Every structure is written in structure tokens, then in C-alpha cells.
Amino acid sequence: MERFEQTGLTDDGRDLAADVVLIQPSDEKLTARSRRWLDWNYRNSNLRIVVSKEFINRLVPTQPAVEAPVHDRILGVPTRGWSTSTARLSIQLVPDAQSLRFALEARGVVLARTTSRRDPVTLYSNSDSAYFARKQFELTAAGLKTWPTEAEVSNSSRLRGVETDFDDVPILGFVVEEIARAKHAESEPAVRRVARRKVATRVQEEIDSAIEPKLAEARKLYQQRVVALVAGLQVEPTVVELQTSEARVTSRLRLASDEQLAACTPRPMALSDSLASVQIHQSLVNNIGDRLDLDGHTFTLPDLQQRLLKAFQLSPEAFPEEYPADLRISFARRDALTARFDAGRVEFTLGVAELHKFPKTWRDFHVRVYYRPQVRGLDVRLIRDGTVQLRGEHFGHEPQIALRGIFSKVFSPDRELVF
């Protein structure tokens, strides 16, 4: 424990985690308490994501007005015409101390101009239906749960006119029209109930049918970009906390295998008025770097490039440069790749046991390079900051120049790491 506190290195952390796991007292409660102590002090959340309701609603698209023909039967009467629908979508957060809960709400109006025909009478009507629909979602460690859409509708209608087949017949035409108006007034409450039910059903079906493909696409994307990547690196994501307030959702996760540590230092306070924030502890980067399994292994640069492409599921365009095939690198047996966050920069250090490029061989040195985060839109980019630094006991001036040329190409300032 003291060694890890002094060095903060991944290998020393792995030794500490292994020692705690090996503790097997006869008291099971003591064992559980020891593991909780380790999780709380040395395996805490190393990824915290907070998103505000305001930011989520900025991403909700504006809905255009939709005009559609009406072909329906209401109380057995054929009804034709046109409707115009407008809607406004928003996301409301549902406070919950143990999950991410939110609801998609839709408020809209349906205006319709219709014609109903039952011989010998034709009725011309205007209707105005206002609806409110709500579909709830809950995200827990077990996955995403959805509820069926609920909808409430209120409506009103106005009879614009009446035509009969007897309009040209004196007296009879007037009588038939009055009878038609009386029957319309009598059936209007039932017609309005049917219309409300139809609007509610249509809104529910439209929301559910629009949401399900999006959810399926999101699940597929999550499986491809997150689950497959994490599984390939063998860094298991564990939910530490999910919480929803009226103003924001908070996710605290731990990315670490059973033998790795996670966050073990105080977390800086995020800005309270930020629309969204992502906080990453350096243990997350070190755990991923550890799973690349570089310690003690030897690669040519093209082989190392292929390993990185496969591990991070990148396309070959991520490394457009061509590296010399005769350059061979052997990494240090411990902590071949480490990361440290300091003063707003990310420090990466490579431990190299041997680097060979005919006819030269260099041994036992470290390569250090700094990156500075830069936000561009919704992307976070790491931009190389400063020159490549070399540290070794047997360096003279000439080896420094040759190695800088090699690693300046490997850590090219023109290549940005995009997240």
C-alpha cells in the first residue's frame, strides 16, 4: 500500500488489489468489509458524467407541422378531409436516487377540416384537439426499461355547414337540415369521445414507433462502440452511482478489472452551472493502457500499430504514416505505458527496454510526451503540447537526436486524439 501511495503506478496498484483479495479471514463480514474498504478508498469511480436537462433539451429536434389526409369512419359515418398537426417535444427529468429516469413529453395540436357524408346529408366540420403525451425511461445497472406512451386529449368541434339532397326543395330541405343539425348535436359528445380516443391512439403509436427504432439503433451502437471495446480490453465497467435530480443526471462508473485499482484521490468539484461535464481519473487511462499488454513484449512498429488498431477498433486511417519495418521496440517489464494528469495536461510515459533500428540499438530509457485537452463542439481532442522528452542514464547528444526523430513521428503533433 505504501509503495502504491508513493508511485501511483499500475503494477503497484495491481499488487495491492491482489493482496486485499487474498485476505481470507474466518469472519465473512470482515472479508466483505475489507472489500468495501478497498472499493471506497482505492477503487472508486474513475469516470463521472453529468448532463443537465437544459443540455438534453437543446438536442431535442424541432418538429415541423405535418399535414395529412383524413380517411376515417366515426360512429359508422365516412369522414374525409385534411388535418394539420404541430408538436413540441421536451425531456423532463424524474428525480431518483438510484437510477437515471426521464420522460419524453410531447404537447401538440391537431386541427382538422372534415366532411362527413350519410345520405342524404353532408356535414362540414372543424375540430381542434390538444394532446399531451408522455413516455418514461429508466436506466439502471441492469439496462434500459421503457413504459408505454400515455396520452391525454381534449378537443372541441364546430359545425361549419350542412348540405342535403333536398336543399332545392322548399320547406322539405329546411326540415331535413334541421333534423340533421339536431342529430349532430345529439351525437356530438359521442363523436368527440371517439375523436379523443383516436387522436390519443395515433399519438401513442407514432411516439412508440418512432422511439423503438432509435432505441434499437442506440443499443447497437452501444454494443459496437462501447461493449465490444471494453470487452476487448477486458476492463469491466461497473456502476458506482446513478442519480437523477430535477436539473441533471449523474453517472459515476468504474472502469477496472478485478485486479486493477481505480480512483483513489479526491475529485475536483465540477462547475455547478455547466451544461454537461465529464471527469476522468488517470486510473481509467492507466487501466486501459495496462490491458494493451505491452509489458515485457517486443514489437515492430507496424505490429504495434496493428495491435492498437485492433484493441481500440480503429480504422487504418487513424495511423496514416508508414513506419519502418526494421524498427523493433521491447517495452519495460513493468509499467511500459503510464499516464498522469497534472496541471491541465496529460503526461504519457513509455518505458523502453530496448529499441533497435539497424545498425543502432538503444537500451533502458523513457519517452515522455504531454498532451493538452481542447474542446471543439462536442468533441474533446488531445493536442500534443511541447516536444518529446527522453530520459536515460546512457544518453549523449547523438542518441537524443536520433531517438527524437523516431518518436516525434510516432507522437506526431499533427495527429489529434479525438474522444
Residues 207 and 309 both lie in one domain: no
Tell me if residue 323 falls in helix, strand or coil.
coil
13 part of a folded domain: no
252 part of a folded domain: no
State the Cα–Cα distance between residues 183 and 27, nearest whole angstrom.
Answer: 83
Number of H helices and E strands in the chain, helices first, is 9, 18
What pLDDT is attached to residue 25?
57
State the Cα–Cα distance between residues 335 and 338, nearest whole angstrom.
Answer: 6
Q: Between helices 28-42 and 10-22, what is the axis angle to 10°?
A: 160
Residues 200 and 345 both lie in one domain: no
Give strand pairing partners of 85.
Answer: 66, 110
Residues 175 and 324 both lie in one domain: no
Tell me if residue 188 falls in helix, strand or coil.
helix
Range of the domain at 157: 53-221
Q: Residue 300: what residue type?
A: T
What pLDDT is attached to residue 204?
93
β-strands 345-357, 248-255 pairing: unpaired
Mark which of 202, 221, 240 sits at the end of a domain: 221
Residues 72 and 176 both lie in one domain: yes
What pLDDT is attached to residue 257?
84
391 part of a folded domain: yes
| Inter-residue contact 250 to 241 (CB < 8 Å) | yes
Number of domains in the chain: 2
Q: Where are the extended beta strands (E) located within 119-236?
A: 121-140, 143-146, 150-164
112 part of a folded domain: yes
Residues 216 and 314 both lie in one domain: no
216 part of a folded domain: yes
Residues 212 and 307 both lie in one domain: no
For the chain, give the percent of residues with pLDDT over 70: 93
H or E stretch at 331: strand 327-331
Residues 210 and 358 both lie in one domain: no
Residues 212 and 322 both lie in one domain: no
Mark which of 221, 247, 265 sits at the end of a domain: 221
pLDDT tens digits for range 388-416: 999 886 665 566 778 888 888 888 888 77
**CA 59 → CA 89, 189, 204, 272, 400, distances in Å?**
11, 40, 22, 20, 50
- What pTM value is reported for the model? 0.82
Residues 78 and 166 both lie in one domain: yes
Mark which of 200, 221, 242 sits at the end of a domain: 221
What pLDDT is attached to residue 21?
61
Residues 316 and 198 both lie in one domain: no
Lookup: cell for 357:
533500428
H or E stretch at 21: helix 10-22
17 part of a folded domain: no
Residues of the chain with pLDDT under 50: none
For residue 417, how many other CB atoms are within 10 A of its CB? 13
306 part of a folded domain: yes
State the Cα–Cα distance between residues 323 and 306, nearest whole angstrom.
Answer: 12
3 part of a folded domain: no
What pLDDT is attached to residue 143?
87
For residue 13, how many other CB atoms are within 10 A of its CB? 26
